[in-house]
Structure 1
Amino acid sequence: METNDDSKSAATAEPHNAYLEEKAFKSRTLLIFGTITDAVAADVTRRLIALDADSGEKPIDIFVSSPGGHLESGDAIHDIVRFISAPVNMIGTGWVGSAATHLYLAAPSERRVCLPNTRFLIHQPSGGAGGQATDIAIQAQEIIKARQRIAHEIARETGRPIDTVLADIDRDRWLSAEEAVDYGLVSRIIQRKIELR
């Protein structure tokens, strides 16, 4: 009897994925890679709550490499990081942009680190407004409110004046790891896990 190669590889992948999931949970490590969506937010917040229930004192490490995505999904992760009791280390790698920068700022300054080749992107939110003129006006007002909120968060977490931040996020503002440290997004650049503790 012939077996389907796809079903064999899927069956092999399932135990492997379960093993990796268990290892990640035991090491109290989460990955936020790729676009931030409501599904990503639901998965990450569920894991954060589970890890917090496991221990409210041991740190949780979150590796972030994301271009951003849905702002409110980033908000959900941001708020849960602050809601739980367990301390959270945010570790930037690859690139941390837009809504990903927002959730990255949920950790206190001393717990925000990055690897040497990380790049950061801050900018104002964008939206694809459509529909009737009154609906477009409402959406525009909401984007302006979100811009103010993001700017205040960046200002509070970096110690920069709000007017400076508003000017900085008017267009895409890219920062290297070193520039992100100077700006106040990141406390320090690390190269090895031992430097995290």
Structure 2
Amino acid sequence: MKRKFSIGAPLFLTPGDDLRNYVEDWLDEPKDVRRAAADDIDGAVVDAGVMTLRLNAYVTANMVQYFHAIENSYNSKIAGRCNEVRISLNTYGGTVADGFEIVDMVREWNARRDVKISMIGAGAVYSMGVPIMQAAARRYSYPNAEYLIHPVSAILYGTREQIEDGLTSVKNSEAAIVNLIAARSGMSAKEVSEMMRRDSYLTAEKALDLGLIDEIINLDDDGGEEDAAQADRRAQEMRALEIYLTEAM
């Protein structure tokens, strides 16, 4: 039986204790995620050249494996079948390292492949979910999605020197997140840092105002053509994305 701990509170281990006894239950997810990804692609709806996949998971090694499986399916199941892979992302966050592997993987994909990966914020896009969204070619959102930017959390134990080294790692992670969000959103690093000092919950409308997403999906849309202003804004955003991806590589 795993014991719970309070996020943000110090964790003191007694002799004989094992840190693994304190790991949250939500980390114990099903491991056959590659098969799940393959099934998702096989059964995905492709409408107007867009393949939609729906992902609801914590940011762990399992989510990394899901994206690996999508990448491995590119030649056999994606290329030639659609023009865009649109991933509906619902996540409460997870580990920074796994999140950044996904960020780098998606950015590399979009820089090198004709079929781009876009994302839709769905439900909760918390914590590392926000940086992951910034890697998408286009960042959509459902109207009722909620976004959360907050400080990096960590459990540190060991010698004083080890704890100090761990704090350095936490600061480096926060700086990397700030730089990523600032580069894509247009906010200054100072503005993003201020948001990360607390739990900043954002509506889809606020996320759009801050540049964290590009568009809120209109669920009442009748499927008509976009007007000239929308088309012009989309073209400008795609040019900005090309510059962003070129600099990233």
**Same fold per superposition (TM over 0.5):** yes
4+ residue runs over 6 A deviation = none
- Tell me which protein shows more helix as a share of its residues: 1
Distance 1:126 1:184 in 2: 25
TM-score by length of structure 1 reads: 0.81
Mapped partners of 1:158, 1:58: distance in 2: 24
* Matched length: 178
Instruction: Give the corresponding residue for 1:8.
Output: none
In 2, distance between residues paired with 1:18 and 1:73?
20
Deviation string, structure 1 residues 117-136 (Cα, Å, up to 9, x no partner): 00000112111111111111
Q: Which residue of 2 aligns with 1:130?
A: 157
SS at match of 1:186: coil
2-side partners of 1:44 and 1:107: how far apart? Answer: 13
Residue 99 of structure 2 aligns with which residue? Answer: 74
Residue of structure 2 aligned with 1:99, choices 108, 124, 128:
128
Query: 1:128 is aligned with what amino acid?
Result: I
* Residues 36 and 69 in structure 1, CA contact (< 8 A), matched pair in contact too: yes
Q: What is the alpha-carbon distance in structure 2 between the residues aligned to residue 122 and residue 175 of structure 1? A: 8
Q: Which ranges in structure 1 are unaligned for 5 or more consecutive residues?
A: 1-16
Distance in structure 1 (CA, Å) of the matches to 2:40 and 2:54:
12
Greater alpha carbon shift after TM alignment, 30-39 vs 60-69: 30-39
State the SS of the aligned residue for 1:93: strand
Q: Given residue 104 of structure 1, which amino acid in structure 2 is its aligned partner? A: M
Paired with 2:205 and 2:60, the residues of 1 have a C-alpha distance of 29
Q: Is the 8 A contact 1:82 1:107 kept in 2?
A: yes
Give a deviation string over 1:95-125, Cα, whole Å, max 9, x none: 10111111111014xx101011000001121
Select 1:51's aligned residue among 74, 81, 87: 74
Q: Percent identity?
A: 27
User: 5 Å matches for 1:1-197?
Assistant: 22-24=42-44, 28-51=51-74, 54-55=78-79, 58-84=83-109, 85=113, 86-108=115-137, 111-192=138-219
Q: Distance in 1 between matches of 2:128 and 2:92?
A: 8
Alpha carbons of structure 1 residues 25 and 136: separation in structure 2 relative to 1, 3 Å: farther
| Contact 1:48–1:81 (CA under 8 A) maintained in structure 2 | no
CA distance in 2, matches of 1:67, 1:20: 21
Deviations 1:51-99 (A, max 9, x none): 3664187211111010110111111111111111121111011010111
Q: After superposition, give the CA deviation of every residue in 1:135-178 in whole Å (9 maximum; x if it has no partner).
A: 11111000001111101111111111111111111111110010
Measure, in 1, the Cα distance between the counterparts of 2:54 and 2:101: 16
Q: Which amino acid aligns with 2:44?
A: A
1:8-47 deviation line (CA, Å, top 9, x unaligned): xxxxxxxxx9865521286733333121110221122221
- Preserved contact between residue 51 and residue 60 of structure 1 (Cα < 8 Å): no
